[in-house]
Amino acid sequence: MRSRRVLRRSILWMALGGLGLLLVLPAVAPAQEEVTTSLRRYKDREASTGYYEDYEVEPRGLRPFVGVPGALRPSFPYSPKAAEIRVRTYLADSHRAVKFYEVMTCVACHAEEARDIHTTRGNLTCRQCHGGEPIASIAHYFSPLNPVRRHAYVCSKCHEGSSASFATYVVHEPNPGALETRKTFSSLFYADWFMSLLIVGTMGFFVAHTAVWVSKELYHVFTEKERKPEDE
């Protein structure tokens, strides 16, 4: 009986001591720079602040200026130099070596891109998002439009509090009905097909239905009118 009481008291004192230590000692903190995965760092810091550290977006061991996925895939693959010129998505200056570039306007080449809601409704100019010269390709490591920092550097200028998820909105939306869109934005392509079929199906049936109905009624009216004098 006595030993049980001693045991209880010792557990109580140990618990109180532990609580006291928790209050006195500095708060338990996770390792500040060492994280198990980059996803953890993203969730802890970048997602909450919307800002990225430089090391987070640096190319690390990769070459920063030319790294073209798929460049080696074609039958006659581009050399790194040729890829630098032909595939502009990854360049620091995406308009490098474009002839007479200084006297051209953006829409001279990118007419389709100027038809999006941001340009037509929001009255935004290209440079408000793409930045000044040299305009980096959107996938370039240091571009403000690189998906890793687009929301913080570009979207949040107007959409305060935008997240990386928000920045996946496709500003220069492809033509939903175009066959290429099936590869680049398949959900938009299939949504367009579904709605087109719904519109064509509904209107097709009811327009034909109403047209035949109205004509048939009118036909009956005229034939009855013609018949009446004879009947009388």
Partner 1 sequence: MNDQVRIIRFNVIHRLFHLFIMVTFLIQGVTGLCRLLYITSWGKALTNFFGGYESVTTIHCRVGVAMLLGFAVHLVYILLKVEWKALRQNLFHPDSLVPRLQDVIHVGQRLRWFLGLGPPPAFDRWTYWEKFDYLAVFWGVPLLGVTGLLLMYPLVTSYFLPGWVLNVTLLLHRAEALLAMLYIFIIHFTVGHFRHGMFPMNECMFAGSVELEEVRREKPLWIVRLEEEGKLAEAMVPAPARWFRVVYFIFGYTALAVGLYLLLILLIYRNYV
- DSSP for the chain, written as a single string: -HHHHHHHHHHHHHHHHHHHHHHHSPPP---SS--S-HHHHIIIIIHHH----HHHHS-TTS-SS---TTTT-SSSPPPHHHHHHH-GGG-SSTTTT-TTGGG--HHHH-TGGGGSHHHHTS---HHHHH-SSS---TTSTT-TTSTTTHHHHTGGGTSTT--TTGGGS-SSPPPTTSTTHHHH-HHHHHHHHHHHHHHHHHHHHHHHHHHHHHHHHHHHHHHHHHHHHHH-
Total number of residues binding partner 1 (CB under 8 A)? 36
153 lies in the binding site for partner 1 (CB under 8 A)? no
Q: How far is the CB of 199 from partner 1 (least distance, A)?
A: 5
Q: Are the beta carbons of 94 and 137 closer than 8 angstroms?
A: yes
206 lies in the binding site for partner 1 (CB under 8 A)? yes
Q: How far is the CB of 213 from partner 1 (least distance, A)?
A: 7
Q: Please identify which residue in the block is written with the tokens 């305009």.
A: 135
161 lies in the binding site for partner 1 (CB under 8 A)? yes
Q: How far is the CB of 209 from partner 1 (least distance, A)?
A: 8
Residue 167 burial by Cβ neighbours in a 10 Å radius (0-12, 13-18, 19+): buried
Report the residue from 57, 92, 148, 188 that binds partner 1 according to the rule CB under 8 A: 188
For residue 22, give both structure tokens: 């928790």
214 lies in the binding site for partner 1 (CB under 8 A)? yes
179 lies in the binding site for partner 1 (CB under 8 A)? no
158 lies in the binding site for partner 1 (CB under 8 A)? no
Report the residue from 48, 120, 125, 223 that binds partner 1 according to the rule CB under 8 A: 120
178 lies in the binding site for partner 1 (CB under 8 A)? no
44 lies in the binding site for partner 1 (CB under 8 A)? no
- Residue 10 or residue 215: which is nearer to partner 1 going by CB? 215
Report the residue from 57, 144, 176, 182 that binds partner 1 according to the rule CB under 8 A: 176
- Residue 157 or residue 216: which is nearer to partner 1 going by CB? 216
- Residue 131 or residue 176: which is nearer to partner 1 going by CB? 176
Which residues here bind partner 1, judged by CB under 8 A? 120-121, 159, 161-163, 165-170, 173, 176, 185, 187-188, 191-192, 195-196, 198-199, 202-203, 206-207, 209-210, 212-214, 216-218, 221
